[in-house]
Amino acid sequence: MELINRPRRLRRNDAVRRMCRETRMSPDSLIYPIFVDETLHGVRPIESLAGQNHYGLDSVCQAVEECLAHGVNHCILFGLPKSKDACGSSAWDEHGVIQEAIRAIKAKYPDFYVITDVCMCEYTDHGHCGILCGHEVDNDKTLEVLSKTALSHVQAGADMVAPSDMMDGRIAAIRRTLDENGYTMTPIMSYSAKYASAFYGPFRAAAGSVPSFGDRKGYQMDPHNCREALKECALDVEEGADILMVKPALAYLDIIRECSDAFDLPMCAYQVSGEYAMIKAAAAAGLVDEYRIMCESAVSIFRAGANMLITYYAKELADAMKKGEIG
């Protein structure tokens, strides 16, 4: 056979395959979600997310130590407050669950990078992501409480805030509030293209944030749309976002690609709870190889253009990257 082109030459062994990889990743690009429950002492497994835990304020440093042991140096915090009301006032309480969790982490691990999820749904008694007016979320009233919440996180020592509410104008509102209070150097990671997705199911069970009526389609994006994601990203860039995000990840690889091609900002992807839980369940049923599916999913997200990844698999992926099995 006279074959000049034999792509298999570069696939012959591990050494040459590793050398020729087009997608490079490192544990530096991983962010681990930590759930802190104000009513909890110690650690409690999360039923809807096999292998994940709720941490009490007395044990949140344990979650950080586990991250550090695997070489994961960034987290995103989610809070379960002891009390909820119509406007979610526990979200911006100076001594609220997130504010205290940040202080506990920073007292012991000042260099561990703490990002906070900024949203109202875990703090409102109706479970929607903002202040209600009738059965609708009032955009402009919600901007005030989001800004207050973000400011209280930063005042408690958060390194970065990540608004996930999908209100219009929230990046500008939060940026202004942070700047007016002297926090001009605190970056904002925007959940720019966040879709109204069924993949958040296990998270809502874990965070106690299932809406008591209706759904989130009035503020989160329609999965049919791509140009709208570009518009959301463009608005966030204009309003001063430092990092853009697409969420969920695996069912939205085209959106990650389009948005990372179109904008110069770093691009984050969120491999959400349903993506994780499906792999876990399929593996538990003996249907797939969990480790390989985890690795392949992460590679595909970075290959699509993500520069960083929020994932419940952060620790396991960091190990895989260190071994050179991916990355």
Q: Which residues are catalytic?
A: 194, 247
Separation between Cα atoms, residue 307 and residue 24, nearest integer Å: 10
Q: Say if residue 27 is preceded by a cis peptide, omega within 30 of 0.
A: no
Q: Does 121 bind ligand PBG (CB under 6 A)?
A: yes
Closest distance of CB 19 from ligand PBG, Å: 35
Which residues, numbered 184-223, are part of the site for ligand PBG (CB under 6 A)? 200, 203-204, 209, 216
Q: How far is the CB of 277 from ligand PBG (least distance, A)?
A: 9
For residues 200 and 313, which CB has a smaller minimum distance to ligand PBG in the complex? Answer: 200
The two beta strands, 243-247 and 53-55, are unpaired
According to CB under 6 A, which one of 272, 301, 304, 320 is a site residue for ligand PBG?
Answer: 272
Pair 73, 102: CB distance under 8 Å: no
Closer CB to ligand PBG, 63 or 129, in the complex: 129
Minimum CB separation from ligand PBG for residue 76, in Å? 8
Helix (H) or strand (E) holding 132: strand 132-133
CB nearer to ligand PBG: pick between 177 and 311: 311
Place of tokens 């990743």: 25
The residue sitting closest to ligand PBG, measured at its beta carbon, is 203
Residue 130 CA to residue 142 CA, distance in Å, equals 5
The CA distances from residue 95 to 11, 55, 111, 221, 274, in Å, are 56, 17, 22, 33, 31
273-312 footprint of ligand PBG as x/- string (CB under 6 A): x---------------------------------------
In Å, what is the CA distance from 298 to each residue of 50, 93, 282? 19, 36, 17
Select 70 or 128, whichever has its Cβ closest to ligand PBG. Answer: 128
Tokens standing for residue 154:
């930063």
Task: Provide the binding-site residues for ligand PBG, judged by CB under 6 A.
Answer: 117, 119, 121, 129, 164, 200, 203-204, 209, 216, 272-273
